[in-house]
Chain A
Amino acid sequence: MVISLESEPATREGARRRRNPEATREEILAAARTVLASDGPDGLSLSKVAQLAGVNRGTAYQHFETREDLIKATVAWVSEHLVETVFGHHDKNGNSLDPGVQPVYEVISGMVDFAIENPELGRIWLFEILSSDNPGNDPFFKQFMQATQTMAASDVSEDGIDPEVLSVMLLAGYFLWPVWVRGRARSKKERHAMSQRMRREVLRLLLHGALRAEAFPQLEKLLKG
Chain B
Amino acid sequence: MSPIQPRQRRRRDPESTRVSILEAAKTILARDGAEGLSVSSVAKLAGVNRGTAYQHFQVKEDLIRATLDWVSHQLLDAVFDGWDSDGARPEGFPKPDLEHLPDVFNSMTDFNVRLAEYAIDNPDIGRIWLYDVLSRKNPKEDVFYKRFELAMKEMAASDATVQDMDIEVLAVLMLTGYFLWPVWVRSHARTKKERKVMAERFAGEVMRLAMHGVFRPESSALLRKDPKTKRAIA
Contacts and interface: CB of A to CB of B under 8 A. Distances in A.
Contact of A208 (B155, B162, B184, B206): B162
Given A131-B187, A156-B216, A218-B102, A165 B205 contact: yes
A213 B169 contact: no
Interface in A190-225: 197-213, 215-216, 218-219, 223
Interface stretch (A2-10, A19-27, A48-56, A167-175): A167-175
Interface stretch (B58-66, B78-86, B130-138): B130-138
Given A176-B130, A179-B135, A206 B214 contact: yes
B137 to A, nearest CB: 6
A207 B165 contact: no
A183 B134 contact: yes
A198 to B, nearest CB: 6
Contacts, number: 183
B202 interface: yes
B214 A176 contact: no
A171 B210 CA distance: 17
A183 B139 CA distance: 10
Given A182-B135, A203-B233, A213-B212, A169 B173 contact: yes
Contact of B181 (A132, A158, A168, A206): A168
A158 B213 contact: yes
A201 B169 contact: yes
A104 interface: yes
B226 interface: yes
A157 B205 contact: no
Interface residues of B, number: 59
Interface in B97-151: 98, 101-102, 105, 130-131, 134-137, 139
Contacts of A197: 166, 168-169
Interface residues of A, number: 58
A44 B86 CA distance: 44
B177 interface: yes
Contact of A162 (B139, B205, B233): B205
Contacts of A171: 180
A197 B101 CA distance: 29
B227 interface: yes
Contact of B211 (A133, A166, A172, A209): A209
Contact of B234 (A180, A203, A215): A203
Interface of B: 33, 35, 98, 101-102, 105, 130-131, 134-137, 139, 155-156, 160-162, 164-166, 168-170, 172-173, 176-177, 179-181, 183-184, 186-187, 201-202, 204-217, 219-220, 222-223, 226-227, 233-234
20 contacts: A105-B233, A126-B180, A130-B180, A133-B187, A157-B215, A158-B208, A158-B213, A160-B208, A165-B204, A168-B184, A169-B202, A171-B180, A173-B173, A179-B131, A197-B169, A205-B170, A206-B215, A210-B211, A211-B211, A212-B160
Given A165-B205, A172-B179, A218-B105, 9 more contacts: A103-B227, A131-B183, A151-B214, A162-B205, A164-B184, A171-B180, A173-B173, A200-B234, A208-B217
